DNA sequence: CAACTGCATCGACGTCTGTCAATGCCTTGC
DNA sequence: GCAAGGCATTGACAGACGTCGATGCAGTTG
């Protein structure tokens, strides 16, 4: 367990002073931004639907033409979301012939979920 | 404007079949938006830092004046982020005298993390 | 009561983001 | 080769978001 500095409550501290402030952020801004970028990739309804569709598909993969319909979004928009998910390491793209097949990277979602612990 | 045009899947369309799957969205748009709203509350560097600070604090709670310093943000901005986290059910606010004390709602983060499974 | 302090709200501003139509690239089939 | 289809990229635009200064409000202190 991580023992940080004792933070005297305002009730304990003398006078009207609230913050004796030895309090230092255990999570620096840069790291926080990296984590936020990762979470932002998932924090979108369309992308959540895409992940659900891929997870529910029999082979664990699907091409763009199968995903535009259920989402009710245009093809460029779906392509955009798939790119975001891929760049976040959540999906892999494999081009077979004319079609681009996307599949979920196993364990990656759990990695992101683990951040929130 | 919402484009509701039906896009025939590769299975239905002419030519070589791409995906025989009768793939239907298991996650409707409305539910997806609810989940996204929840995740968006956490997908921000400042709010992640706030959660980290609160988790690291001895009593598991802190007042606003203890949080503005480490974050390097103005007081109204920190207040705004705390409001977002509170409305997402991640924090509770308790006013004691002049100060507003925020503390983490136990288990709530795990609930959100569980969504990604 | 008056002055002060901690916090929330408001209004404004620049930036990021989701979306679409149009276009271009690449592969397949004739 | 040429036409057609699948997908990515571009450009544009509206809305959402993060941030701050100014202001307002509720307790506390003198």
The CATH number for B71's domain is 1.10.10.10
List chain C nucleotides near protein: any atom < 7 Å from a Cβ: 5-11, 17-22, 26-29
Residue B22 pLDDT grade (very low, low, confident, very high; cuts 50, 70, 90) = very low
In B, residues 3-42, which contact A (CB 8 Å cutoff)? 3-4, 6-10, 18-19, 21, 23-27, 29, 32-33, 35-36, 39-40, 42
A7 lies in a domain?
Answer: no
Centroid of chain to Cα B32: 12
| Cβ-based neighbour number of residue B32 at 10 Å | 21
B10 lies in a domain?
Answer: no
Q: Residue A70 in contact with residue B22, Cβ under 8 Å?
A: no
pLDDT at B3: 30
A62 lies in a domain?
Answer: yes
Torsion over CA: A103, A107, A108, A112 (sign): positive
Averaged pLDDT, A10-21: 35
Cα separation, A52 vs A62, whole angstroms: 12
Q: Residue B34 in contact with residue A42, Cβ under 8 Å?
A: no
Task: Kindly tell me if the per-residue pLDDT of A94 is higher than 50.
Answer: yes
- Secondary structure letter of residue B44 according to DSSP: S
Domain residues for the domain of B38 are 29-114
A2 lies in a domain?
Answer: no
List chain D nucleotides near protein: any atom < 7 Å from a Cβ: 5-11, 17-22, 26-29
3-class SS of residue A92: strand
B5 lies in a domain?
Answer: no
- To the nearest whole number, what is the mean pLDDT of chain B? 80
Contact partners, residue B39, CB within 8 Å, separation at least 6: A39, A42, A43, B112, B115
Q: Interior CA angle at A61 toward A60 and A66, to 5°?
A: 125
pLDDT at A23: 34
B73 lies in a domain?
Answer: yes
Annotate A79-115 with b (16+ C-beta within 10 A) or e (fewer): eebbebbeebebbeeeeeeebebbebeeebbeebbeb
B99 lies in a domain?
Answer: yes
Lowest mean pLDDT among A6-10, A33-37, A86-90, B88-92: A6-10
Task: Kindly tell me if the per-residue pLDDT of B11 is higher than 50.
Answer: no
Cα separation, A63 vs A19, whole angstroms: 55
Domain count, chain B: 1
Which percentage of chain B shows pLDDT scores above 90?
58
A90 lies in a domain?
Answer: yes
């Amino acid at each position: 367990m991580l023992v940080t500095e004792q933070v005297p409550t305002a009730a304990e501290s003398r006078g009207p002073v609230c913050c004796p402030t030895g309090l230092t952020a255990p999570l620096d801004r840069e790291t926080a931004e990296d984590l936020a970028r990762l979470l932002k990739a998932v924090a979108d309804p369309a992308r959540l639907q895409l992940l659900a569709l891929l997870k529910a598909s029999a082979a664990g993969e699907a091409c763009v033409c199968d995903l535009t319909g259920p989402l009710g979004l245009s093809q460029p928009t779906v392509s955009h979301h798939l790119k975001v998910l891929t760049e976040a390491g959540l999906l892999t793209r494999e081009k077979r012939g004319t079609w681009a097949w996307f599949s979920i990277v196993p364990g990656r979602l759990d990695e992101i979920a683990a951040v929130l612990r």
